[in-house]
Amino acid sequence: MTFYMAGPGRKGGYVPGRDNVIDEVMRSWQEKYCTYSEVSVCVSTFNVNGRSAPPNILGWFPSDNRADFYIVGLQEMDLSIGTHIIDNMKKEIEWIECIRQSLPNPDDYIKVRSHRLVGILIVMFKLTKCNVQITEEKSNLIATGISVMGTKLGNKGGTGISVKINDSLICFINCHLAAGNGELERRNQDFRDITNLTFGSTDANIWAHDAIFWFGDLNYRLINEAPYTSDEIRAIAQTKQAHQLFQYDQLYIEKAKGRVFASFEETPPKFRPTYKFDVGTCQWDSSEKARVPAWCDRILWRKLDADTHIRQLSYESLEAVVISDHKPVRAFFALRLRKIDQQKADRLYEDAIREADRRANELLPQISLSASELDFGEVAYLEPNCRTITIKNTGKARVNLSFVPPPNKERICARWLQVTPIKYALRIDEEIQISLTVVIDKGSAWELSKNKMESLQDILVMRLEKGRDHFLICTAKYTPKVFGVSLQHLLHRNQTEQNLIDFGETAQVLDDCPDGVPKEIHRLVSALRKIGHTKLNFTEMVDNSLFGAIRTALENNVPQDLTSIRGVTAFSLYSTLLRLLDSLTESLIPQKSKEACLHHCTNAVLLWTEVAKFDPIRVAMIEYLTTYLRELVSLRQEAREQLWSWADVFFRDTSPPITPRQQCLYSLVDYARDVAVFHSSASFNTLPNKPSNERLQVRLPPPVPPHRGTSSQTIPRAGSNMF
Amino acid sequence: MSAGPYNYSYIFKYIIIGDMGVGKSCLLHQFTEKKFMADCPHTIGVEFGTRIIEVSGQKIKLQIWDTAGQERFRAVTRSYYRGAAGALMVYDVTRRSTYNHLSSWLTDARNLTNPNTVIFLIGNKSDLEAQRDVPYEEAKAFADENGLTFLECSAKTGENVEDAFLETARKIYQNIQDGSLDLNAADTGVQPKQVVRPTTGGSAAPGERKECNC
């Protein structure tokens, strides 16, 4: 904003341009430190069709209305051949003198400045005794016409004058836009090109001016779609009803659509079209071309903001002037000028700073949260627990919010917590729901059991862009029970809880639970046996609510018999068993023994020898589970493919190659430990590699009579979706 | 917020720290708005406010981060200390516990800011003389021992609030003038004359720091 530059070096005073908000405040407070005066401004545009300047033009400027300033724009001031190449000062001097001599009292005026682009001339006169100061005056031109050798010729374009009168910055632009009915888009583009006009330095663009007066031969015509013939238009244009044609004016329509002169104002002309006349008459063009009349010559203005006051007093064409095929157009304006009282401005500066602070702080993003603390209570393994909070934009600006990782953390929240959405742009007064979900998966469970944590707390940082941060506190309680614990923990749990459970049913189940096998595993396997291996449908979908019911039964020991759970299926038990094994903090095959096991994957004897080296709990578990699987596979050939999943669980590894791990499982399931050991002692060092037909059928008698399952169906691998 | 470059002589980053309920947010509010917020909710997060001040004829923009005082947020709020040019450490003259915790706050402030950060001790609620629990002299001695500037203030009446914020700025400015604060060093919390974008939020990398360090 350049309109009130203060003198340099005044200490503590107001210097604009330091802070946009302060500038805005000072601007809105102008009336507190400015005095105003009104001047009259007369603007006129005239396409002179290459005519030589007469000594003066009578009636151009009425003698009974003497303006403080006259600004005149001419077009086609010089059409002579070669003008585009060689400048001719003579015509310019003559025309400026003609204009001066046309002023009400020529001697009372001085020329402020003029600028010419070939035939496009702008000149400004000031009433000498007018009591305002012009402290800066600059002018420039911009050419938009035909481009020759990369340089635009000056046959079309604009010339402008920028003046600072008192403390108001005013700009006048005279232009000649592309001609011809079909050149609408070219005219629009010419306008846009001319708006790039600058004065002096590059940042002094036209838009910084308090007022812009823009005039010239804009060359806009009536649209071809007007519902009249050319003759009808000429007839209407001749009458007092001419103004009714204005609705078909290209500029009027384009401006309304915002395509051109968008922020400019213009009073709809009450005068007749100003083009094209037979020279020397007020008759419409009678040449062969018989041009349709149009308002080519116009005067528009633009105010920077509400502090600029412009009143248009008149807008007319001068039909009596007949030297050209255009008529001159003339407008009178009352323009308010400001004068800054610098002392007052400096005194207001401190207040303006405070006001700017207030506005800046007020514009900081503000939101309200329905809660900043969420307690999820007791949460269970793999049971999603969801809460929502409502966030409302209560501020005066759009809010971009996002959850960001707390300091020294990479994730925005703990592993057991999920938040959506993590980014959002809130409009003023808009509300959104943010959902937070606690899920204890095996990874979280391991992390929590490792750190012996039961009370969970996480602080999320929600950042408002360019503003404050909000913290969101999430708490939950999680007690490791059956899932996500160590084998030791599972076994230990059995021992401590044995005394707490009422006997009867329990005693019986526990009776046949082998030593070293957690009761929960045994309960699952027992229930599977009770339902029967043939009822196990591997194509079933994993049902999470059923999983929840089985998990609860395992955790609470009620009901002891898992088959009594409502809706329970063999598959739901089977997948729970896999999930449980997968959730254990340690793999059944210890990490350190993996290599050895894979090495012996086809040799059951050596494999079992390796297993025998594991800790007793693992050995018991592996024996127990392979026994179960042996039963299953012997009754259900198609279940062999299931061993792939078991290989993943046993080794806690899914990376390639997977074949050796699967082979391990085949070996362990196909040959029971004692059988393998027996063969070993009988010097059978190697067992057949492909035991499918010749393998030793060693199995425990199944608890339920064997049924032949529907072995024809293909069995998908009950896989990753179970974990 | 309006676009375009702001041009101050300097931008200083402040943090306000101290126990819950000592009146940190009220001090900020009193300083930026010259008003007392009677029912100020606990800050759950980090508040932000700005004000332009003048020191020795230079216009300085203060960016003030007001942190949550609750102990459980301590781990998170610590990250906002980095890059502060001034730290206002606040206790409540009517609650001795808040005064007793000062050494812990001071340790954080010393460890987490740079050596030139100006730490200013504020005893807030000086208007509640009848309930006074910490004598002025005792706190003054503590401040002297630790090389802190000290004032008792009232966010309610506004007494001394301006002075605390301005005096801190003066000290920072003095450090710049006498060269003890190296503007090229990292995390000074001072942004010298240059084009500045309005700050982004706090913890990991507030915009203002990035720009002066990179």
Q: What is the DSSP string of A515-540?
A: TTS-HHHHHHHHHHHHH-GGG--TTS
- Inform me whether the C-beta atom of residue A468 falls under 8 Å from chain B C-beta atoms: yes
Task: Report d(CA A221, CA A184) in Å as an integer.
Answer: 8
CB A294 within 8 A of CB A226: no
How remote is the C-alpha of A269 from its chain's centroid? 45
Distance, in Å, from the CA atom of A424 to the CA atom of A62, rounded to the nearest integer, reads 64
- Cα nearest neighbour of A352 on chain B: B52
* pLDDT for the residue A506: 47
CATH assignment at residue B163: 3.40.50.300
- One domain, residues A529 and A456: no
For residue A627, which phi and psi values (nearest 5 degrees)?
Answer: -60, -45
- Confidence category of residue A503, pLDDT binned at 50, 70, 90: very low
Q: Å from B207 to nearest chain A CA?
A: 9
Q: Is residue A250's pLDDT more than 90?
A: yes
A71 and A113 part of one domain: yes
Token look-up 């002023």 returns A103
State which residue of chain A sits closest to B9, comparing Cα positions: A18
Which tokens hold the place of B79? 């990250």
Helices (H), chain B: 24-33, 74-77, 96-100, 102-112, 136-145, 161-177, 207-213
Residue B23 pLDDT greater than 90, yes or no: yes
Instruction: Report residue B189's pLDDT band, with 50, 70 and 90 as the boundaries.
Output: confident
Question: CA angle B42-B44-B48, nearest 5°?
Answer: 95
Q: With beta carbons less than 8 A apart as the criterion, state whether A223 and A311 touch.
A: no
Kindly list the residues from chain A whose CB atom is less than 8 angstroms away from the CB atom of residue B200: 465-466
Q: Which two tokens stand for residue A411?
A: 């994730």
Number of folded domains that form chain A: 3
Q: Is the pLDDT of residue A218 over 90?
A: yes
Name the β-bridge partners of A119.
none
Cβ burial of A337 (10 Å; 0-12, 13-18, 19+) is buried
Q: What are phi and psi of A386, to 5 degrees?
A: -115, 140
**Statement to judge: residues A495 and A623 lie in one domain:** yes
Rg (CA), chain A: 46
CA distances in angstroms from A554 to A182, A494, A620, B17, listed in the order given: 85, 11, 20, 50
Please identify, among A418, A446, A477, the residue that sits at the C-terminal boundary of a domain: A477
B35 in A contact zone (CB under 8 Å): no
Written as one string, the DSSP assignment of A428-497 is TT-EEEEEEEE-B-HHHHHHHHHTT--EEEEEEEEEETTS-EEEEEEEEE----STTS-HHHHHHHHHHH
Give the SS3 label for residue A250.
helix
Residue A664 lies in a domain: yes
pLDDT digits (tens, 9 = 90+) for A524-552: 999 999 999 989 998 888 888 999 999 99
Taking only the tens place, the pLDDT of each residue in A441-485 is 988 898 888 887 788 999 999 999 989 999 999 999 998 899 999
Q: Which positions in chain A touch B54 (Cβ < 8 Å)?
A: 12
Evaluate whether residue B2 is within a structural domain: no
d(CA A550, CA A510): 18
Q: Is B73 on the interface with A (CB under 8 A)?
A: yes
User: Both A27 and A100 in a single domain?
Assistant: yes
Tell whether B206 is covered by a domain. Answer: yes
> Rounded to the nearest 10 degrees, what angle do helices A659-670 and A616-635 cross at?
80
- Asked whether residue A473 is domain-assigned, the answer is yes
Specify the pairing of strand A198-199 against strand A201-205: antiparallel
Torsion sign (Cα): A607, A612, A615, A616: positive
* CATH number of the domain to which A403 belongs: 2.60.40.10
Burial (Cβ within 10 Å: 0-12, 13-18, ≥19) of residue A440: buried
Q: Which helix (H) or strand (E) holds A30?
A: helix A30-33
B140 within a domain of the structure (yes/no): yes
Q: Which CATH number characterizes residue A508's domain?
A: 1.10.555.10
Residue B124: what are its φ and ψ, rounded to 5°?
-90, 165
Q: Is A378 helix (H, G, I), strand (E, B) or coil?
A: strand
Residues A522 and A467 in one domain: no
- For residues A457 and A516, membership in a common domain is answered with no
Model pLDDT for residues B48-76, shown as the tens digit of each residue: 999 989 888 888 999 999 999 999 999 89
Does any CB of chain B come closer than 8 Å to the CB of residue A346?
no
Do residues A271 and A406 both lie within one domain?
no
Q: Hey, what amino acid is at B73?
A: F
Q: Does residue A13 lie within any of the structural domains?
A: no
Closest alpha carbon within chain B to A359: B1
Interface residue A503 vs chain B (CB under 8 A): no
Residue A467 lies in a domain: yes
How much is the pLDDT for A86? 57
Same domain, A257 and A395: no
- Residues of chain A contacting residue B51, judged by C-beta atoms under 8 Å apart: 357
Domain count, chain B: 1
Domain membership of residue A592 as a residue range: 487-722
Task: Tokens for A102, please give them.
Answer: 């046309």
Confidence of residue A702 (pLDDT cuts 50, 70, 90): very low
CATH, residue A319: 3.60.10.10
Predicted confidence (pLDDT) per residue in A551-570, tens digit: 999 999 888 899 999 999 99
Beta bridge partners of A715: none
Min Cα separation B181/chain A (Å): 25
Q: A423 phi and psi, to 5 degrees?
A: -140, 145
Strands A373-378 vs A469-477: parallel, antiparallel or unpaired: parallel
Query: Which pLDDT score, from 0 to 100, does residue A677 have?
Result: 62
Could you say which of A290, A305, A340 is where a domain stops?
A340
Residue reference for tokens 């046309």: A102
Report residue A129 as tokens.
């005794």
Q: Tell me which residue range forms the domain holding B160.
A: 10-213
- Please report whether residue A10 resides in a domain: no
Whether the bond between A657 and the residue before it is cis, its omega within 30 degrees of 0, is yes
Put simply, whether A683 touches B (Cβ < 8 Å) is no
Q: State the pLDDT confidence band at A720, using cuts at 50, 70 and 90.
A: very low
E strand residue ranges, B19-75: 45-55, 58-67
- Listed in order, strand segments (DSSP E) in A128-277 are 134-143, 147-148, 151-152, 157-165, 168-176, 198-199, 201-205, 211-217
> Where is A317: in which H helix or E strand?
strand A310-317
Same domain, A178 and A236: yes
Q: How far is A109 from chain B (nearest CA, A)?
A: 42
pLDDT attached to residue B39: 87
Name every chain A residue with its beta carbon within 8 A of the beta carbon of B33: 358, 361
Which DSSP category does A658 fall into?
-
Question: For A334-390, how does the pLDDT look when each residue is reduced to its tens digit (9 = 90+)?
Answer: 999 999 998 998 889 888 888 888 888 888 999 999 999 999 999 999 899 999 999
For residue A8, being part of any structural domain is answered with: no
User: From A358, which residue of chain B is nearest by alpha-carbon distance?
Assistant: B33
Distance from CA of B122 to the nearest CA of A (A): 23
Higher local confidence (pLDDT), A142 or A44:
A44
CA distance B36 to B22: 14
Look at residue A81 in the predicted model and tell me its pLDDT: 53
Last residue of a domain, one of A324, A340, A356: A340
φ and ψ at residue A604, rounded to 5 degrees? -60, -35
Over residues A573-602, the mean pLDDT reads 92
Separation CA B150–CA B153 (nearest Å): 10
Whether A223 and A258 map to the same domain: the answer is yes
- Using a CB-CB distance cutoff of 8 angstroms, which residues of chain A are in contact with residue B7? 17-19
Give a yes or no: residue A58 inside a domain: yes
Q: Which of residues 349-408 of A touch B (CB under 8 A)?
A: 353-354, 356-358, 360-361, 363-364, 372-373, 397, 404-408
Q: Average pLDDT, whole number, for chain B?
A: 85
> What would the mean pLDDT of B130-155 be, rounded to a whole number?
96
Terminal Cα-to-Cα distance of chain A (whole angstroms) = 65
- Say what the pLDDT of residue A13 is: 74
- pLDDT above 70 covers what percent of chain A? 86
Structure confidence at residue A73 as a pLDDT band (50, 70, 90): very high
| Residue A571: predicted pLDDT | 94
Same domain, A376 and A325: no
The answer to whether residue A313 sits within a structural domain is yes
Residues A377 and A327 in one domain: no
CA Rg, chain B, in Å?
Answer: 16
Which phi and psi (to 5°) does residue B99 adopt? -75, -40
Nearest to B44 among A20, A465, A470 (CB): A470
What pLDDT does B202 receive?
Answer: 38
- Cα A17 to Cα A9: distance, rounded to the nearest angstrom: 14
DSSP A269: P
